[in-house]
Amino acid sequence: MAAAPEQDLEQDEILIVKVEEDFCWEEEPSLEVEDPSPETFRQLFRLFCYQEVAGPREALSRLWELCCRWLRPELRTKEQILELLVLEQFLMVLPGEIQARVREQQPESGEEAVVLVEGLQQEPRKQRQRVRWGAF
């Protein structure tokens, strides 16, 4: 940012101030600024509101775009795509506190999530009592 000149100006002089070009306006959130995690894209897909677009065709198109940003079919195999879906569903069916603690660890696969849950199961009883475990 150009500093204010301190010299006195003659009456007819025009002060030309060079404005540096490396200033930044506050950037609006954009999906292209950083590389959001798959979880971010998953939430965008699941939280999409029908009212955001003009009609059903636009809704379908937008959902397709969001789904592809989450699942990246151009990069992943069918098995990997199903793994992400299974992981999503697995996390959703976990009991409340267990679910929260496992989500904090951001598992990237169903196997990883299972290991986290099993780890919580093996915690000392005092710690586990904090966690409601309906079935066990």
**CB 107 to other proteins: min, Å:** 11
| Spatial separation of the C-alpha atoms in residues 97 and 39, rounded to whole Å | 19
Give the interface with other proteins as residue ranges (CB under 8 A).
43, 45-51, 56-57, 59-61, 63-64, 67-68, 71, 73, 76-79, 81-82, 85-86, 88-90, 92-95, 110-111, 113-114, 117-118, 121, 134-136
3 vs 135 by CB, closer to other proteins: 135
**CB 28 to other proteins: min, Å:** 22
5 vs 37 by CB, closer to other proteins: 37
Give the helix ranges, DSSP H, for the chain: 38-46, 56-71, 78-93, 96-104, 110-121, 125-128
Query: For residue 26, what are the contacts with CB-CB under 8 A and spacing of at least 6?
Result: none
- The number of beta carbons lying within 10 Å of the beta carbon of residue 45 is 18
**CB 45 to other proteins: min, Å:** 7
- The number of beta carbons lying within 10 Å of the beta carbon of residue 109 is 14
124 vs 134 by CB, closer to other proteins: 134
